[in-house]
Amino acid sequence: MKRRNFIINTGIAGAALSATPSLFSQPILNELKMNKSYPVAVATWNFQNATKMAGKMLENGASALDAVEKGVMVEEANLKNTTVGDGGAPDRDGNVTLDACIMSPEGNAGSVVYLKEIAHPVSVARKVMEETPHVMLAGEGALQFAIQQGFQRKNLLTEDSEKAWKEWLEHKEYKPIINIENHDTIGMLCLDENGDIAGACTTSGLSYKMNGRVGDSPIIGAGLFLDNEVGGAVGTGMGEAIMKSVGSFLIVELMRQGKSPQEACEEAVMRTVRKAPNHKDFQVAYVAMNKQGEIGSYCIHKGFSYAKFHNGESTNNLSLSYMEE
Ligand code: SD4
């Protein structure tokens, strides 16, 4: 790596930017600022509003943890997104049940599974992390805890979701669709001004899932994992496949061993493909970021993309790297 890139990517640029102008001329300071690989926010799918929210917060000095929480909350509140938070598709019995988790740079984690009637499960997950000695709360207990923490109950089944569910009931065909439309579970990673990484993942899970089903998204190591010494990864797609390979943990460990985020994502996808003869029927996709702000992404099928906010610029439709049509 060239010395200048090393300086920029290792965060020494951060120190340089706060150094006195007598050490660095203004043009050099400007260039360092322009080329710095973080702060940066990345998220699964084309959730540009979410990465914009997080990225702008990061540029204003917010911590990775605050930015990642507020970032994914944008999609939790988006009623048009039928796979996350409020307005999420119900299970086959008509219950909207949400899964979410969050991890901090310190390696702390919080998670909620099968949470009903709370529009922002990621914030409940953060409370689990910060206010309890536990990592995961489920179902009724998670709901009680949320209410104690001041969250308001709300009916999350919108008219549109109810209508779609009733139409589904006519055939009751349980067949998850690859790349469900293009707005799906949101997994986000943020690297803040200090080079610290945090992540979050939140979903209503597979549409019309069995009552009680929990996917990968709230499982630390599956839908999300990070280590502030290495980087982080988030997954989306068929949760059962991601859980079986503990995909996000695998990617972080592969990066620890020296693989780039891209190589690590590819290896994690290939593990699933090698073991699951039916992989043609479902999607698995990952986004990973290392501590230098380098990003990688890979998936089984065409159609997955990610969004990024960096250097004041918001980009969608990134990474069209996939294994097969
Ligand atoms: C789940 N991984 O519950 C989530 C859903 C998802 O693309 O990401 N679908 O299995």
CA distances from 236 to 4, 143, 180, 313 (A): 35, 25, 11, 24
Q: Is the pLDDT of residue 8 over 70?
A: no
Pocket test for ligand 1, best of 178, 210, 238 (most atoms within 8 A of CB): 238
String of b and e for 61-70 (b: at least 16 CB within 10 Å)?
A: ebbbbbbbbb
Give the nearest ligand 1 atom to 204 CA.
3
CATH number for domain 40-324, candidates 3.60.20.30, 1.25.40.10, 3.30.460.10, 3.40.50.300: 3.60.20.30
Is 238 annotated as a binding-site member? yes
- Residue 161 Cα to chain centre, angstroms: 23
Q: What atom in ligand 1 is closest to the CA of residue 185?
A: 8
What are 19-77's pLDDT values in tens digits? 444 566 766 656 656 568 999 999 999 899 999 999 999 999 999 999 999 999 999 99
User: Any idea which residue has 């992989």 for tokens?
Assistant: 279
Helical pair 261-275 and 247-256, crossing angle rounded to 10 deg: 140
Name the closest-CA residue to atom 5, ligand 1: 205
- Pocket test residue of 217, 244, 248 for ligand 1, highest count of atoms within 8 A of CB: 217
Q: Ligand 1 center to residue 10 CA distance, Å?
A: 33
pLDDT in tens, 239-254: 999 999 999 999 999 9
| Cα–Cα distance measured from residue 61 to residue 34, given in angstroms and rounded to the nearest whole number | 16
Q: Rounded distance, CA 220 to CA 186, Å?
A: 15
Query: Is 126 labelled a binding residue?
Result: no
Degrees (nearest 5) of the Cα angle 17, 230, 264? Answer: 120
CA of 268 to the centre of ligand 1 (A): 16
Q: Look up residue 146 and give its DSSP letter.
A: H
Residue 322 pLDDT more than 90? no
Ligand 1 centroid to residue 184 C-alpha, Å = 7
Q: What is the pLDDT of residues 115-144, one digit of tens each?
A: 999 999 999 999 999 999 999 999 999 999
| Residues having CB within 6 Å of any atom of ligand 1 | 180, 184-185, 203, 205-206, 215-217, 236-239
Task: Record the tokens describing residue 55, joined without a space.
Answer: 């990225």
DSSP secondary structure string, 43-58?
A: EETT-HHHHHHHHHHH
Task: Note the pLDDT of residue 220.
Answer: 98
Q: What is the pLDDT of residue 321?
A: 74
CA of 211 to the centre of ligand 1 (A): 15
Q: Is the pLDDT of residue 183 over 60?
A: no
Does 87 score more than 50 pLDDT? yes
Question: What tokens were used for 230?
Answer: 């290495």
Q: Give per-residue pLDDT as tens, 286-315.
A: 999 999 999 999 999 988 899 999 999 998
Give just the sign of the alpha carbon dihedral 88, 89, 92, 93.
Answer: positive
- CA-CA distances (angstroms) from residue 229 to 38, 78, 145, 252, 256? 15, 33, 32, 10, 8
Our answer to whether residue 10 is catalytic in this structure is: no
Q: What is the pTM of this model?
A: 0.89
Kindly state the DSSP code that residue 205 receives in the 8-state scheme: -
Q: Which residue out of 44, 51, 83, 185 is catalytically annotated?
A: 185
**Amino acid, single-letter form, for residue 81:** N
Cα 224 to Cα 120: distance, rounded to the nearest angstrom: 17
